[in-house]
Structure 1
Amino acid sequence: MENIETSEWFWAIVEKAALSREKLKEILISFSKEEIIRFQEEFVDASIELQCEPYTDYMEESEDGREDIANWVVSNGENFYFEILDKPEKIPYNVSDFTEKILYGIADEVCLEKYGESTGIYT
């Protein structure tokens, strides 16, 4: 398995958010700008790992759909994420029914709201 640059700090936040965009926003609003950017960086790094082969072999074809799938997997936490890394065939083909449970983008919203600018980090 590749060495993914995600910390226990990052996964603890994802776990606390429990697939709730609103809960993640509540957590991140108390963070410094640097912490919000760090969270976004780790999220993007983890997500990008799933946006290439062999994972894309099991996903829908659209680029947006693949991003959503990867972001959804990260949003589901550390155990699920590493299970998918080990077994690419378990990645969902599509997550269009679950997009409200994707935590990607919240860090940007909070950073913009609190500091007047986005994190500048995107997939």
Structure 2
Amino acid sequence: MDNASIKLPEDFSHISDWFWDIISYAKEDRNTLKEALSAMDKADILRFQEQFVDAAIELQDEPFTDYMEESEDGVEDISHWIVSKGKAFYADIINHPENTPHSVTGNTDPILYGVADEVFVDKFGEPTGIY
């Protein structure tokens, strides 16, 4: 399914299909994402990191946290895991918060969070500063 055909509520419009296309391309593989981001300029890596963080933050409050384990690290891991799964999965969670996983402990390998920061440090010698 094409990311443009997956609709999110209007207040999620700041998370672009450009971002979701990169997530789709990576297919939950950190190395694939790293290669894609390494080919980008500074502004696009920052844009990607900002949109990843924004998408995850949307999930770090009620009603989503009602279904998650209570630790702050657990909530962050779950939100990052959901974003890493792509726009269709993300949209399902947004539209059906009860589908939010309680925990992703033991299943964190597909989490793509942090890759943009790694690439940014490798290319520019400093972190993105967007967390």
TM-score tier, shorter chain, comes to: over 0.9
Q: Unpaired runs of 5+ in structure 2? A: 1-8
- The within-5 A match list for 1:85-100 is 85-100=94-109
CA RMSD of aligned residues (A): 0.8
Amino acid at match of 1:97: G
Q: Structure 1 residue 19 and structure 2 residue 22: aligned?
A: no
TM-score normalised by length of structure 2: 0.91
Amino acid at match of 1:3: D
- The within-5 A match list for 1:25-104 is 25-104=34-113
Aligned residues: 122
Hey, which bits of structure 1, 4+ residues long, moved more than 2 A?
none
Q: Distance between the aligned counterparts of 2:129 and 2:108, measured in 1? A: 22
Q: Distance between the aligned counterparts of 2:89 and 2:109, measured in 1? A: 18
TM-score normalised by length of structure 1: 0.97
Residue identity (%): 56
Find the residue that maps to 2:107 and give its secondary structure: helix
